[in-house]
Structures are given as C-alpha cells and as structure tokens.
Amino acid sequence: MFTSKQRANLRSMAATMKPIGQVGKEGLSENLIVGLSEALEAHELIKLTLLPASGEDAENLAANLADLLHAELVAVIGRKAILYRRSSRKDFEHLVF
C-alpha cells in the first residue's frame, strides 16, 4: 500500500503518459494479462484505457486486473487505470516516488 503522498507522486508521473493498452469487449484475456505483465516489468508504471464495451464497472475491472497482475492499483480516473509493480530486473533504474 502507498501513502497518499506516494500515490499522488505516481499519479503525477502517469499524468503525461499515454495509455499503453485498452481492455474492451474481450475482457481480461490471458494474452492481455501476459502483455500487461511484460509492460509492468519493463516500465513499472502503466496507464490503461478501460472501454465501456468491457461491460464491467471501471473500478471493479481495474481492481481485478491489479490482482491478476500482482500489481498496485494507483488510481482509476474516469475510464483510465494506473497500475504499478516494481520490476524484478537487476539492470533497471527503478522509479523513485
């Protein structure tokens, strides 16, 4: 869990990011989970678009996605979700927040 200050710092970092993917009518497929897990490993902080076609509430969908990815849900703003997971790579410059 993050403190409110850490969460605010992560949100500010993600403010200028473009969403790297979207969850649509296919929902949370295995290929989507694998791809997002690789993105988290490479970037630590990602932003996603949660399309209304997914048929699920954005908050619930983002929480389910965070659980499946073993990531922290930083925030859900409208239909955008911000996720964080510390990279396990040794040659990586980790985010400081």
Instruction: Report the CATH number at residue 36.
Output: 3.30.110.60
Q: What band does 18 get if pLDDT is binned at 50, 70 and 90?
A: very high
Q: What is the 8-class DSSP label of residue 53?
A: G
Distance in angstroms (rounded) separating the CA atoms of residues 49 and 89: 26
Distance in angstroms (rounded) separating the CA atoms of residues 36 and 17: 15
Flag whether 96 is in a domain: no
CB 77 within 8 A of CB 59: no
Flag whether 93 is in a domain: no
Taking only the tens place, the pLDDT of each residue in 46-96 is 999 999 988 889 999 999 999 999 999 999 999 999 999 998 888 878 887
pTM of the complete model:
0.90
Print the domain residue range for 70. Answer: 4-84
